[in-house]
Structure 1
């Protein structure tokens, strides 16, 4: 592939950020796989980074893109750069505490866009059987199964967005309709976001499924962290019904991710083992959003806080050490001399629903990990893998964001 467009952009005295040839760069990364991008390309991208102070216009997006594109070259590849999380507008409790309906609509749209983009790729592979669409392309029946789960995963969000798909038995036909529908009103900024957040480490077909599914989980976990922050605030202010409503909302959202697990389970094990050899350094243990969710439910004990799980998310660890209040902390403070769950059935229902959703999420994750890795294979990024998932509450990768106390009072 010819890097001439990037060379031409760099040749300008004051290159404009809006004219950066994102599409050509992304094409190269998707063609070669991030570790195998020719030195000529990465050299030009490093020159681009050096030129950032002289770039015309707001270069924040370009800065974030280069951070993702050059992670392997800089030897700082991790889960966040692998998924391009800086380029995804994920909800964050530090800035998005209120306006829950607006944030839910924002999450729903991003969720649908990710699933529609994945569906478009799978449909192109079906429609162009002779075209080079990646190694180990899955057979047609497996793609149809994958698309059926993708449509199930998109359905609740589409309903809330008033864009429900009519019931059609053919999952391929439904997927085509979704792709067409999202392309009609997709903005240029959204198109660019979808392009720049897909820099795989290989040319294996199923890696796109892996990336998009993990990104969809991160989008939901970000909103869960916002919901839990709101629940903690409400509980600390003795607004128990409000806390219960936010927990119920969080539980519903987590339940809605179940089809994502089914969709991910269509990934071919041989394909997974082929591309994961290039993901060393990136592990879901580094998920900031999940650690926020976990720590907002219950403050981790010192041993957990010293584990790899939290050392890999230093800003979350710093929040906890600075005294971040958890839901368990807030409920303990007001329940010493009150039966708050009898007093507020809405809170009791919220705790039960969220606890059940979390444990179902964990069980499903473990079953899928065993299917892909077995029970002895190390996890992605040289983490301990499925044996680690079987550990105690304070040593699991997925963690247990509910305490025995919260579970007991919710029974």
Structure 2
């Protein structure tokens, strides 16, 4: 990649994320970037592996999606960053997908492995402007729902397990960086925040582990012995989370990390985005289940959905945003420069939360958000239409659950605004927004405007 003028950060940091002084961890380069020679060798090995797989897949035997060289491709992209990926490899990956499709062998729903290949491969050659969905690999992570029947319990279990595995990967990356840096202050602060988020996992993903003893051990170690004592307990908790996860889910989490730079901070940023997406998705799902319960005149059931997700939201907001506050502003400036067009306001679950909750006057399509959802039934309108026919106690319980979720959602957005102010200040935001000012205004918008006015 041609070196450019540094963007919005320290003078010794190139735009591709590599530090001239060799610093790794927070504010520096990711572990495993390697030398110029090792990256060149990784490219040759990856091209050879993809070429061999493509030739076999287009032969008489049909594609073996389990045998695709994910490890080679992901390893190369993590060494170079997607923005600096070799054009010949990108072209080869495009050709591999096209070849499978033209041969009539692309049946993405035939198995989890076929679906993963079909969903993931386009992420390796995403063009600018970049979309938030492709940057975060959100669709790839939907493989967690493969064996779910779509019901509330199965969906919660799938989301909790995915949340646990994503967090486990973040724990390993930050713990390894702490070891490699010899315990620098900024890296220690980041790693401690990640361990604390792991210790609090039962508050926002209680079904991630049937036996929470490993997580209890992390919490005890942090309280009694401090960060140094927490490292072994954190590793054991990671092992426990990964052991119970299906192989397809572990692979999806592994391949859904395709950073555009070589910055260590971008790895944390992507994993944090993916964790928040799980949180948004569960709030959206709870609202949709609640709408169906209200339409069936089961207000107590609707209230239970909202109470449960409200607890998850409250448990996740503080520890997950605490991790994000460790992002150095200069690192985020580099990431923003390479991800122009991608914005969290494009998040489908986030949009769905606000669309399912209530109709909003004057809401129109905005290009930076992408397609908006159109729903006939929202929770607020269904509640107001039916509340008069319910027992007083049940109606009051559901109203309080709606108000509580509204307060928690707005509190989460206020925290987002505060974190944004710390990291980027008042510069224009991604996706065409006004940045922190946009977030501050969004935090004042209630989920249920007609309830808020009462």
* TM over 0.5, shorter chain: yes
Matches within 5 A, 1:285-324: 285-301=345-361, 303-308=362-367, 310=369, 312-314=370-372, 316=373, 319-320=374-375, 324=376
Match of 1:206 in 2: 265
The 2-side partners of 1:30 and 1:253 are apart by: 32
Runs of 4+ with deviation above 4 angstroms = 55-58, 95-98, 337-343
CA apart distance, 1:42: 0.4
CA apart distance, 1:182: 2.4
Match of 1:345 in 2: 396
The 1-side partners of 2:195 and 2:138 are apart by: 26
Tell me if structure 2 keeps the 8 A contact 1:225–1:296.
yes
Match for 1:354 among 398, 405, 410?
405
Once the two structures are superposed, what CA deviation does each residue of 1:251-275 show, in whole Å capped at 9, x if it has no partner?
1121122111111112222221222
CA apart distance, 1:341: 5.8
Q: 1:8 to 1:339 in 2, by over 3 A?
A: closer
Unaligned residue ranges in structure 1 (runs of 5+): 131-136
Q: 1:230 to 1:97 in 2, by over 3 A?
A: farther
Matches within 5 A, 1:69-80: 69-72=124-127, 75=128, 77-80=130-133
Q: 1:89 to 1:386 in 2, by over 3 A?
A: same
Match of 1:133 in 2: none
Match of 1:120 in 2: 172
Match of 1:265 in 2: 325
Q: 1:404 to 1:11 in 2, by over 3 A?
A: closer
Using the size of structure 2 for normalisation, the TM-score is 0.78
Q: 1:144 to 1:46 in 2, by over 3 A?
A: closer
Matches within 5 A, 1:246-265: 246-258=305-317, 259-265=319-325
Match for 2:425 among 365, 374, 379?
374
The 2-side partners of 1:159 and 1:200 are apart by: 29
Tell me if structure 2 keeps the 8 A contact 1:147–1:172.
no
Are 1:402 and 2:452 matched, yes or no?
no
CA apart distance, 1:89: 1.8
Tell me if structure 2 keeps the 8 A contact 1:210–1:264.
yes
Tell me if structure 1 keeps the 8 A contact 2:203–2:312.
no
Match for 1:4 among 35, 44, 48?
48
- CA RMSD for the aligned pairs? 2.6
Match of 1:388 in 2: 438
SS at match of 1:206: helix
SS at match of 2:139: helix
CA apart distance, 1:222: 1.4
Q: 1:91 to 1:140 in 2, by over 3 A?
A: closer
Are 1:196 and 2:255 matched, yes or no?
yes
Are 1:104 and 2:151 matched, yes or no?
no
Tell me if structure 1 keeps the 8 A contact 2:174–2:187.
no
Tell me if structure 2 keeps the 8 A contact 1:265–1:368.
yes
- Count matched residues: 384
Are 1:41 and 2:89 matched, yes or no?
yes
